[in-house]
Structure 1
Amino acid sequence: MNKQPLLILALFFILGILFQDRFSLDEIYIFAIIGISMIAFVATFFKSFFLYRLKKYLLCVIFFGVGVILHFFNTHNSHISVTGNQTITFKISGKLNSNEKNRKYEAFVQLEKDVFKGIIYIPKSKGALDFNHYYKAQAFVLMPKAPQYDFQFDYSKYLKRKNIDFQCYANDEIQTTVRNDLSWGEQFSQKRLEVLQNIDETHMSLRTKEFLKGIILADRTEIDAQTVQDFNRSGLVHFLAISGTHIVVIFGLFFFLLTKLLPVKYRKYAIIVSLIFIWLFTVFIGFGSSVVRSGLMLSIYFMYILLQRKPDLLHALALSAFIILLFDTQQLFDVGFQLSFLAVLGIFWLNQPILSHFPAQDNWFKKIIFNTISISISAQLATLPLVLYYFHQFSFISIVANFFIVPFSEVIIVFSFLMTFLIAFNADLEYVNLIYGFVIKVLLKVIHWFASSDAVFYENIPMNLPEVFSLFLIVFLLRSVILPFNFKNFIRCMIAALTFFMLKLSSDVYESSTSEILIHDFSKSKVLSVKKNDEVCFWIEENSDKSKIVKFVINPYCASRRIKRTEIRRLPNAVRKIVYKHKIYEIN
């Protein structure tokens, strides 16, 4: 507590959020916790020796209680009940990833006297929406459904955490009314939308445009599935999404330019102005969660420097997490939030021990190469348990891909930022577009080559929460093993590894001893699965989309049930009716 008070208090705050999310305490218990927290808060002001000794424990109680209380008030419970065809009026609040048929938007929807937040699905034939208009349309309104089975992604819970109540499918002509009440945030969002439209009007290739919009303006809504798959399989998705790397590089660009323009004695003002630019950029691209996290950590870090105090990465990490969760406790359950903070913790915990085993970094080239490798390995080790738990896939090629791509990321990000700046001011320079298009074309080809290495790509990796925690324990103990060898520390790490394998073996044995038959609803079709021990046969309809069924039904099921052998068969339509009507439990 004396060494890292902010980190420990942030952890108790997070524990309070998790406790309330798990047990969903009623209002009467919340008032009791408020009372206990107030008593503990008042007790910290007394100068009694006994209370002084208890002060650190009282602070932990207070932060735990604040986590419970804030999450209670931040949990959205809708009392609106509506379904079917309705006439809705709405304004968009954000743009989401499109699918094959529709564009998707987050929107504030008014239905008679009720106002709620919803997802609006607009056919691509209707054209794009903007922030300058109110819209009115006939739409089919429905509440998101909970998944059928435990292995499926709970989209309804995901939307609830974002305070989204309904999905609305527009099925008629859309009427527009010009708005004259745009907030500052909406004006920034509209300007960003106009820049995106300017990028679309350039003569660059489609994939280059989508890459540029994603890497600088955090808009991946129209990016093709192949490119997304390449970045995922190569372990470079952090490069495409706005992350800490982007914010640091953009901050460095502003800081470099300002230090060249301003005298040395005004260096601290260069830091302040660069931070202001970073936050203006954050506002411009719509307060993306990853950008806010990175901006906060960078701002807190440089506040230490401006106040002439030694920067403390863990203090900056804890304080930025606390600020974010103070405004929105639901951010804790965002995968990006968890992975980004774990990556920073991994770099703090493992980077220097790993780097100490490399040869001496006696020139700038060695520093860049060795630091790139050590930081990449540290971040990937720290995030590996959660990556396996959420995505059930991993590729060893990601280490090599990061080694080759990350050193050039700064150049790509700066080039992309300058391109966006020129396009935003309608400076469409053809020769610059050609150079940028060529660079991105080569980059995407290299990433695709890495992603196509199937020999080192593993999917449907089973992972449950006990295994996740045991893996985290191994990662935690790795530091003591990597540092100068100590037999006692080595034994501890081996015990943790043995615990993990015992947990995995027991889970494998349990799943391989069970059999089940399930009928899966997918879109307008059904899938029948017949599992016996560690083998399963999927029966799919003749006209169904096999690739999507594999992605959204078969792969999640195989990872959850630890399947070792899978077979897929086509189910004739004539047989389908008999199977589902009589629930046949054995098919030869």
Structure 2
Amino acid sequence: MPLVVGILCGDAFPHVLSAWEYVAGFLLFLFIIGRYKHTGWVYGAAVYLFLGGTGCCLMSWQQGKRVFPFSGKPAVYRVCIREHPEERERSILCRVALLGEVEKDTVTGCPRNHLFLAYFPKDSATATLRRGDELLVSTRLVPPANNGNPDEFDYARYLRRKGYSGTAYVADGHWRKTGHDASRTVSQVALDYRAKVVGLYRSLGFEADELAVLSALTVGDKEELSDDIVETYSVSGASHVLALSGLHIGFLYALLLFVLRPLWRRWRRLKPLLLLLLVLFLVSFAFFTGLSSSVVRSVVMFSLLAFAGLQLEKPLTLNTLAATAFLMLLCKPVWLFDVGFQLSFSAVAAIVLVQPKLYALWKVDNRFLRYLWGLMTVSVAAQLGTAPLVIFYFSRFSTHFLLTNLWVIPMVSLVLYSAVFLLMLTPLPFVQHLFARVVEALVHVQNEVLRWIEHLPGAAVDDIWLDIWGVLLVYLFLGMAYYGFLRLTVRRVCFALLALLAV
């Protein structure tokens, strides 16, 4: 929590602490914990202040890298396209890295490696642009800006948090290709392998919504998703399955545990090695999905969960969750503001805290009913944890989420396992083509049932508006209600009702 508070302060007030000030604070911290290690509150206060300062410095330093000295005048720049160009309705979007400013055929000392969003007109010439192309462009670089509407989305801050210093529009005839950089980063290699997997799906006969949904479910490629299928999944309350994250990694984790557990039960000494193999497989899967931030987060969480399985205590606790968030925010503090990061951790925290209490309310003897009851309690707990954020970001609440999850979660697991088996059949092309029709039928059935849920009466409540204080009050009410549920007293019930009244 102090690290999170520090990151928030660093985002709101960047460049507060310099590196030398942070070093001085670190030395003071070492002195305090050495001098007052037996004084609990002094030691605790020093740790909290140090972690808060660390978060503030990390965030302000990261934001400081995006500061660019804009001149406001057109100039000629040398840039390199870092990702595959993205086709928009009226333009071609290229994510470019600035290599320098050109004056009299020489590259001056312009700040390098700042990232910009460059928009090109859609024509036959820009259609040939590829990742790695080096260009000379004549344009005017501008900082990210909002439209100035009340309560609008803060697009400028969003771009800065994504690592972009500004935007530019390159008119027709105001650019020229000068070369090509064939070198690739690890992330670019991962994206290329993801594109190969999608190409394999296409060669196997997948198309339209089936291709789009399968690509999103298995490798996180959402470029093929149409507006209609996105709206179907949104209204029915199944949008979370299109974003490759903890749900999908959890299915793979469960599959690997099912395969490897009998081995370490027979040979106990192999358990650390088998868990390491499990983690390596998850990392490989993350690589084939393009190393997206949501998948990396989930792989880190399940890797810690796997190694926590070496101890006898319950492995998945709030400490495991907090350790994952702490390590990830130390590596990249801007992840705190990512919607997927917030939804993932709020969902898992709610499942860890609330689901066991709900599950204990009804003792079920029948195995099938016990599975359904467990699935329902997990869905309700996750919905409680994420509903305030979903309403805040998307102004929508899907009322049939329980029915949707009872259908879509088993189907997604079936589709995911079938897709893994489909990829394993690559050495057998004939069998692979036959099995591809089975996978295509599974995805088609999943989509059709969600379309039916979408058209049920009252499938979603739209235009719900909450500000950040409303979200905090809702979570305060949920927290007080959970606190009162653990031990029902008049005081706790009053606190929960006061929080609800404040909402």
Bucket of the pairwise TM-score, normalised by the shorter protein: 0.7 to 0.9
Q: Which amino acid aligns with 1:118?
A: F
Q: Please state how far the C-alpha of 1:158 moved relative to its aligned partner.
A: 0.7
For residues 190-222 of structure 1, the C-alpha deviation after alignment (integer angstroms, 9 at most, x for no partner) is 222232233333322221111121111111123
* Aligned partner of 1:472 among 464, 475, 496: 475
For residues 394 and 217 of structure 2, what CA distance do their matches in structure 1 show? 22
Q: Does 1:342 align with 2:346?
A: yes
Residue 104 of structure 2 corresponds to which residue in structure 1?
A: none
Residue 505 of structure 1 corresponds to which residue in structure 2?
A: none
Task: Give the 5 Å matches for 1:362-511.
Answer: 362-420=365-423, 422=425, 429-453=432-456, 455-483=458-486, 485-500=488-503
Q: Please state how far the C-alpha of 1:372 moved relative to its aligned partner.
A: 1.1
Q: 1:22 to 1:136 in 2, by over 3 A?
A: closer
For residues 73-116 of structure 1, the C-alpha deviation after alignment (integer angstroms, 9 at most, x for no partner) is 111332242665856531324676x5334454533243534432
Residue 17 of structure 1 corresponds to which residue in structure 2?
A: 7
Q: Which amino acid aligns with 2:116?
A: G
The 3-state SS of whatever aligns with 2:290 is coil
For residues 477-523 of structure 1, the C-alpha deviation after alignment (integer angstroms, 9 at most, x for no partner) is 222444565444333222221121xxxxxxxxxxxxxxxxxxxxxxx
Q: Which amino acid aligns with 1:41?
A: L
Q: Please state how far the C-alpha of 1:325 moved relative to its aligned partner.
A: 1.0
Q: 1:356 to 1:183 in 2, by over 3 A?
A: same
Residue 71 of structure 1 corresponds to which residue in structure 2?
A: 59
The alignment yields a C-alpha RMSD, in angstroms, of: 3.0
For residues 77 and 224 of structure 2, what CA distance do their matches in structure 1 show? 28
The 3-state SS of whatever aligns with 1:324 is helix
Residue 523 of structure 1 corresponds to which residue in structure 2?
A: none
Residue 351 of structure 1 corresponds to which residue in structure 2?
A: 355
Task: Give the 5 Å matches for 1:80-119.
Answer: 80-81=69-70, 86=76, 88-93=78-83, 98-102=87-91, 104-112=93-101, 113=107, 114=110, 115=112, 116-119=114-117
For residues 519-552 of structure 1, the C-alpha deviation after alignment (integer angstroms, 9 at most, x for no partner) is xxxxxxxxxxxxxxxxxxxxxxxxxxxxxxxxxx
For residues 145 and 340 of structure 1, what CA distance do their matches in structure 2 show? 29
Q: 1:25 to 1:403 in 2, by over 3 A?
A: same
For residues 311 and 262 of structure 1, what CA distance do their matches in structure 2 show? 17
* Counterpart contact for 1:37–1:61, Cα < 8 Å: no
For residues 490 and 424 of structure 1, what CA distance do their matches in structure 2 show? 62
Q: Which amino acid aligns with 1:163?
A: G
* Counterpart contact for 2:235–2:459, Cα < 8 Å: no
Q: 1:195 to 1:424 in 2, by over 3 A?
A: farther
For residues 77 and 270 of structure 1, what CA distance do their matches in structure 2 show? 43
Residue 158 of structure 1 corresponds to which residue in structure 2?
A: 158
* Aligned partner of 1:320 among 324, 336, 342: 324
Residue 522 of structure 1 corresponds to which residue in structure 2?
A: none
Q: 1:86 to 1:455 in 2, by over 3 A?
A: farther
* Counterpart contact for 1:94–1:107, Cα < 8 Å: no
Deviates more, 1:451-460 or 1:216-225: 451-460
Q: 1:129 to 1:489 in 2, by over 3 A?
A: farther
Q: Which amino acid aligns with 2:28?
A: I
The 3-state SS of whatever aligns with 1:147 is coil
Q: Please state how far the C-alpha of 1:425 moved relative to its aligned partner.
A: 9.1
Q: Which amino acid aligns with 2:56?
A: V
For residues 87 and 285 of structure 1, what CA distance do their matches in structure 2 show? 33
* Counterpart contact for 2:211–2:224, Cα < 8 Å: no
Q: Please state how far the C-alpha of 1:254 moved relative to its aligned partner.
A: 3.4
Residue 221 of structure 1 corresponds to which residue in structure 2?
A: 223
Q: Please state how far the C-alpha of 1:380 moved relative to its aligned partner.
A: 1.0
For residues 193 and 109 of structure 1, what CA distance do their matches in structure 2 show? 26
Q: Which amino acid aligns with 2:95?
A: E
For residues 273 and 139 of structure 1, what CA distance do their matches in structure 2 show? 51
For residues 449 and 242 of structure 1, what CA distance do their matches in structure 2 show? 23
For residues 437 and 139 of structure 1, what CA distance do their matches in structure 2 show? 47
For residues 267 and 428 of structure 1, what CA distance do their matches in structure 2 show? 34
Q: Does 1:235 align with 2:240?
A: no
Q: Please state how far the C-alpha of 1:178 moved relative to its aligned partner.
A: 5.0
The 3-state SS of whatever aligns with 1:166 is strand
For residues 85 and 199 of structure 1, what CA distance do their matches in structure 2 show? 44
Residue 60 of structure 1 corresponds to which residue in structure 2?
A: 48
Task: Give the 5 Å matches for 1:257-276.
Answer: 257-258=259-260, 264-265=266-267, 266-276=270-280
For residues 248-272 of structure 1, the C-alpha deviation after alignment (integer angstroms, 9 at most, x for no partner) is 2122333434456788312432221
For residues 119 and 194 of structure 1, what CA distance do their matches in structure 2 show? 26
* Counterpart contact for 1:140–1:169, Cα < 8 Å: yes
Aligned sequence identity (%): 22
For residues 155 and 186 of structure 2, what CA distance do their matches in structure 1 show? 31
* Counterpart contact for 1:236–1:401, Cα < 8 Å: yes
Structure 2 residue ranges without an equivalent (≥5): 102-106
Deviates more, 1:309-318 or 1:327-336: 309-318
The 3-state SS of whatever aligns with 2:82 is strand
For residues 367 and 59 of structure 2, what CA distance do their matches in structure 1 show? 47
Q: Please state how far the C-alpha of 1:180 moved relative to its aligned partner.
A: 4.1
For residues 433-459 of structure 1, the C-alpha deviation after alignment (integer angstroms, 9 at most, x for no partner) is 222222211111111222233524222
Q: 1:195 to 1:494 in 2, by over 3 A?
A: same
The 3-state SS of whatever aligns with 2:115 is strand
* Counterpart contact for 1:118–1:168, Cα < 8 Å: yes
For residues 92 and 273 of structure 2, what CA distance do their matches in structure 1 show? 43
For residues 192 and 285 of structure 1, what CA distance do their matches in structure 2 show? 6
Q: Which amino acid aligns with 1:65?
A: G
For residues 53 and 40 of structure 1, what CA distance do their matches in structure 2 show? 14
* Counterpart contact for 1:480–1:486, Cα < 8 Å: no
The 3-state SS of whatever aligns with 2:373 is helix
Q: Which amino acid aligns with 1:71?
A: M
Q: Which amino acid aligns with 2:339?
A: V
For residues 119 and 129 of structure 1, what CA distance do their matches in structure 2 show? 15
Q: Please state how far the C-alpha of 1:373 moved relative to its aligned partner.
A: 0.9
Q: Which amino acid aligns with 1:149?
A: N
Q: 1:66 to 1:99 in 2, by over 3 A?
A: same
The 3-state SS of whatever aligns with 2:309 is helix
* Aligned partner of 2:335 among 304, 321, 331: 331
* Aligned partner of 2:30 among 22, 41, 48: 41
* Counterpart contact for 2:453–2:459, Cα < 8 Å: no
The 3-state SS of whatever aligns with 2:183 is coil
Q: Please state how far the C-alpha of 1:418 moved relative to its aligned partner.
A: 3.1
* Counterpart contact for 1:215–1:416, Cα < 8 Å: no
Q: Which amino acid aligns with 1:78?
A: V
For residues 267-298 of structure 1, the C-alpha deviation after alignment (integer angstroms, 9 at most, x for no partner) is 43222101111112212322211111111111
Q: 1:85 to 1:19 in 2, by over 3 A?
A: closer
